[in-house]
Amino acid sequence: MNIEQIYTGCLAQGAYYIESNGEVAIIDPLREVEPYLARVENDAAKIKYIFETHFHADFVSGHVTLSKKTGAPIVFGPRANPTFEAIIAEDGQEFPLGDLTIKALHTPGHTMESTTYLLRDEEGRDHAIFSGDTLFLGDVGRPDLAQKAADVTQEDLAGILFESLRSKIMPLNDAVIVYPAHGAGSACGKNMMKETVDTLGNQKKMNYALRSDMTKQEFIAEVTDGLLPPPKYFPLNVQMNREGYEDSTAVLERGTTALDPEAFERAANETGAIVLDVRHQNEFVNGHVPRSIFIGLNGDFAPWVGALIADTKQVLLLVTPNGKEAETITRLSRVGFDGTIGYLEGGFENWQKSGKEFDSMPSFSAAASMEKIESTKARVFDVRKESEYQAEHLVDVMHTPLSELNSFLSEFPKQGDFYVHCAGGYRSVIAGSILKSRGIHNLVNVEGGFGALKQAGAAVTNYVCPSNQ
């Protein structure tokens, strides 16, 4: 028996490769399937099943392409309704894999088709569960993504999830290994641990949602508390996972079209494409194509693209570091953005050499920013998440979370410089690029973000919860 977790940090996503006696099952594969094909060839094995725990919202799975290339059937749990051919497993249905058995446990709640796959070893003993978004380490899947499709409320789904956990998962042996679909950083949950593998017994101790003394109403209240709105691209990814999609190799071939500066500028003007600059933030602030949006590859690239660009049909033109074109297009396709039509040949340096107009973003150190803010009484805007802001923030700062930036455009001053910071300097440059693309240019980026400001002696305060008394 061989179990391998194939973890993709940029998506905080775990796919799984299970092999026994030359037979392989893949669970929740990434969209680019070549690594799985190479692996089975190296192992002299054959893919027998492709299991999907549910219709994923935060990434496009590789199930459709992998099935076409291998002939292996796609397996979903009960209540799934894909438009392509698939096995819709019954609750409790077993699938032999070499000397192993994989049993489908219908565990609705995150979505109605959500299914956990229980792996039994050569002796028939329960060995591991592949829990998808039903059970994370430290958390459970959010119940607000499928309520419209299921015609139920998020409270209804949370109640269904409570029953699934207690009837299907918690009765399993404490030694059973938990392999979830996501880890910390995913928008599919709230309180996930940084670890990506654990035992069920430890989760019963550590995970608030598995407390044995918890009532159903307490569970519903805790699971639904503090849920942020899901990214707007989520329903579009669900649709692609349910209905199918273009092979990622075709997306890559189309996107890796090299365009000289003249052709690049012409394509931007003629197609209405967004120019997406994925270089390091320090390079972007020093110079960039006017009205381009910065989302750097070195951060949570794909999730921020999905959250901020939102429309997966949007046409894109890329400015990348040299040699990073294919990686960028691949990572975009993982979240359903297949509209890349080319990249700037020779990068931004070639744009400058051609004599084209370019823009820059004022960016000061934390110490210099503090001095300017104090002397000019300039306003400061914090684009971190709500949880970060509540934990600690500058005195007299305006909170404008990056994910909701468009809702705050009227708050930014029309005259005089204002300052924008995040935690470390990545998200503030994203925010600045969006503001500049909206015609707001009087901003200054704070290098190093909140961490640098605090180290430089800026006055900070904790969030104070309003009292009801």
pLDDT tens digits for 84-122? Answer: 999 999 999 999 999 999 999 999 999 999 999 999 999
Lowest-pLDDT choice from 60-69, 178-187, 341-350: 178-187
Note the pLDDT of residue 464: 54
Domain boundaries in the chain? 2-233, 246-353, 363-461
Give the pLDDT of residue 463. 62
User: In the predicted model, what is the mean pLDDT of the chain?
Assistant: 94
CA 20 – CA 1 distance, rounded (Å): 5
pLDDT surpasses 50 at 322 = yes
**pLDDT, tens digit, for every residue of 177-235?**
999 999 988 888 777 899 999 999 999 999 999 999 999 999 999 999 988 888 889 99
Distance between CA atoms of residues 39 and 37, nearest Å: 5
The model's confidence at residue 383, banded by pLDDT at 50, 70 and 90, is very high
How far is the C-alpha of 6 from the C-alpha of 18, rounded, in Å? Answer: 11
- Asked if the domains 2-233 and 363-461 are classified in one and the same CATH topology, the answer is no
Taking CA atoms, 25 is separated from 1, 19, 334, 412, in Å, by 11, 7, 21, 52
What pLDDT, on a 0 to 100 scale, did the predictor assign at position 9?
86
Q: Say if residue 469's pLDDT is above 50.
A: no
Q: CA-to-CA distance for 383 and 428, rounded, in angstroms?
A: 7
CATH topology of domain 246-353: Oxidized Rhodanese; domain 1 (3.40.250)
Please check whether residue 95 is in contact with residue 101, taking contact to mean a CB–CB distance below 8 angstroms: yes
Can you read off the two tokens belonging to residue 278?
């994925």
Place of tokens 């809702």: 407
**Considering the chain, what percentage of its residues have pLDDT values greater than 90?**
89
| CATH of span 2-233 | 3.60.15.10
Read off the pLDDT of each residue in 50-77 and give the average, rounded to a whole number.
Answer: 97
User: What DSSP state is assigned to residue 435?
Assistant: H
| Average confidence (pLDDT) over 131-154 | 89
Confidence band of 78 (pLDDT split at 50, 70, 90): very high
DSSP state of 288: B
Residue-level pLDDT at 238: 96
For range 398-409, the mean pLDDT:
94
363-461 belongs to CATH 3.40.190.10:
no
User: Does residue 323 carry a pLDDT above 90?
Assistant: yes
CA-wise closest residue to 80 among 51, 105, 113, 103: 113
Mean pLDDT on 251-276 = 97
Identify the CA nearest to 264 among candidates 345, 339, 153, 332: 345
* pLDDT greater than 60 at residue 468: no
